Chain A
Amino acid sequence: MRRNKNLERRIADERIILLMKLAEKEAISNPERARRYVTMARRIAMKYRRKMPSEYRRRFCKKCFSFFTTSNCRIRIRRGIKSILCLNCGWRRRIPYRR
């Protein structure tokens, strides 16, 4: 029997948004739990080949999956490069931008 992939994708999208919202809510009070939610959202996104919503794509560390708040990341703007340093694992993400 054929899978209804449209329905699967729709549910996957809804679940990703829901999990990321929960992660945002728990990020300050319960960072470990927020990390778990981000991991789960990412797993769903990968499995059903969905994109992470653009508003959340840069809001977590791709290495340790911790959700960024004001206190656990450092964002610096250099010449042509925006660099985000994760203070949990020390991983630095560099994003180019046009000046």
Chain B
Amino acid sequence: MKPDMIIAHELIGLEVRVEKSANRYLEGIEGKVVDETKNMIVIEGRNGLKKVSKKGNTFLFNFNNHRVRVSGDLINFRPEDRIKRVLQILRRGRR
């Protein structure tokens, strides 16, 4: 599977790091994704569970030794909707 497909794939279980955020206290949070809703990602790291909004934040996912930078606005869908919606976006060529 191509690494850029992870935005249509399962995020739970992946290692993630919040790379860029309007809120500087969120930047640098890293850990494992343990849950996902339409608007947020729950990250389990060293300091317990952190709920990070998808909208407006940039995430760095570690996937099969590939590091993939994903804008949170691209994955701002319900987890089960994401397959359909993201494939549409990818096909239109917007990244």
By a beta-carbon cutoff of 8 Å, the part of chain A in contact with chain B is 1, 3-4, 7-8, 11-12, 14-15, 18-19, 22, 33, 36-37, 40, 43-44, 47-48
Contacts and interface: CB of A to CB of B under 8 A. Distances in A.
B42 to A, nearest CB: 10
B4 interface: no
A40 B84 CA distance: 15
Given A11-B9, A14-B9, A15-B9, A48 B35 contact: no
A18 B79 CA distance: 14
B35 A7 contact: no
Interface of B: 5, 8-10, 12-13, 34-35, 79-81, 83-84, 87-88, 91-92
B12 A11 contact: no
Given A11-B9, A15-B9, A44 B80 contact: yes
Nearest to B92: A1
Given A3-B84, A11-B9, 13 more contacts: A7-B87, A11-B5, A12-B83, A14-B9, A15-B9, A18-B10, A18-B12, A19-B10, A33-B34, A40-B12, A40-B79, A44-B83, A47-B80
